[in-house]
Amino acid sequence: MPEPVTNKNAPIALLDSGAGGIGVLREVQKLLPREQLLYFGDSLHAPYGEKSTAEIRRLVLTAADRLLARAKALVLACNTATAVAAEQLRRRYPDRPIIGMEPALRPALSVGAHPTVLVLATAATLGQEKFARLRQKCEKSATVWALSAPGIVRLVEQGLADSPQMDAYLSTLFATLPTLPDAVVLGCTHFPFAQKSLRRVLGDLPFFDGAVGTAKELRRRLAAQHLLAPKDAAGSIMLRTSDPRSLPLFLRLYQQ
């Protein structure tokens, strides 16, 4: 069994299939400015959402093992990685905070009345038993539509988050909806980067994503395990990727 990391000065790792988790990184940095944050985007293998469960699990476990060799905690800044590999990782690293994400359907239903909610996520997230259970619980209080949107991930990875190509893709995707929903859950960390385009196509609907909630949960877990960086520590950010061509995109999205 791996050694527990009890060093408060060790970094916190964040993992995504590519650039999507940068939005989570930003929220974590705002909330925990004294921490050393090590971001890894597996751009070489993005998108995860269209791969088989076994393949995604293998990629996530491989990257997580490498990151947890030095990190005190891991944020799965990716709904897909969480849906597919969080349970295995928690079993493998029972003493380490492993923070995952799920489509923010519960928050969408707890804030105001939203009789119809559209969940956008990857096919892999929507196909997991975990999402079926969440959906079933929430369908007691709302009609839940779910759509996979692989084109958003691809366009964000190509640096086209706010572009005519994104508008065209979204217009086609939403043409299948019977009416406009009352709220939209962005259940993939790439999707908030397409929010301008989403608003142009869907109008000014309430959008929900899990970035802030994930940062708060991370802080809570670190505090509970006495793993928060010391008050005089200087925070830092390190961006890593399996495809160095993605670094300029990571930086641009971080600075946005």
- Catalytic positions are 78, 188
Chain CA centroid to CA 239, Å: 16
Q: Which residue is nearest to ligand DGL (CB)?
A: 49
188 binds ligand DGL (CB under 6 A): yes
Please tell me whether residue 16 binds ligand DGL under the rule CB under 6 A.
Answer: yes
Strand duo 183-186 + 207-208: pairing:
parallel
Binders of ligand DGL among residues 91 to 150 (CB under 6 A) are 122, 125
Buried b (16+ CB within 10 A) or exposed e, 6-44: eebebbbbbbbbbbbbbbbbbbbbeebeebbbbbbbbbe
Residue 43 in contact with ligand DGL, rule: CB under 6 A: no
Taking alpha carbons only, the member of 9, 7, 64, 65 closest to residue 37 is 9
Q: At what angle do helices 22-31 and 247-255 cross, to 10 degrees?
A: 50
Among 5, 11, 12, 20, binds ligand DGL (CB under 6 A): 20
Least distance from C-beta 115 to ligand DGL, angstroms?
Answer: 26
Quick check: 57 binds ligand DGL (CB under 6 A)?
no
Nearest one of 183, 186, 179, 112 to 147, comparing CA atoms? 186
Work out the angle at residue 210's Cα, subtended by the Cα atoms of residues 146 and 179, and round it to the nearest 5 degrees.
30
Pick 49 or 97: Cβ nearer ligand DGL? 49
State in angstroms the smallest separation of the CB of 58 from ligand DGL.
14
Assess 78 for contact with ligand DGL (CB under 6 A).
yes
Q: What angle do CA 56, 159, 123 make, to 5 degrees?
A: 30
- Of 46-54, 88-96, 211-219, 235-243, the window that binds ligand DGL (rule: CB under 6 A) is 46-54
Q: Give dist(CA 256, CA 254) in Å, integer.
A: 6
Phi (first) and psi of residue 59, to 5 degrees: -65, -45
- Which run of H or of E encompasses 147? strand 143-148
Compute the least distance from the CB of residue 6 to ligand DGL, in Å: 30
Which CB, 123 or 237, lies closer to ligand DGL? 123
The only residue of 73, 108, 153, 211 in contact with ligand DGL, by rule CB under 6 A: 153
Minimal distance, residue 34 CB to ligand DGL, in Å: 26
Q: 29, 80, 148, 246: which one contacts ligand DGL (CB under 6 A)? A: 80
Q: Is the CB of residue 170 less than 8 Å from the CB of residue 196?
A: no
Position 49 contacts ligand DGL (CB under 6 A): yes
- For ligand DGL, the binding residues (CB under 6 A) are 16-18, 20, 46-49, 78-80, 122, 125, 153, 188-190
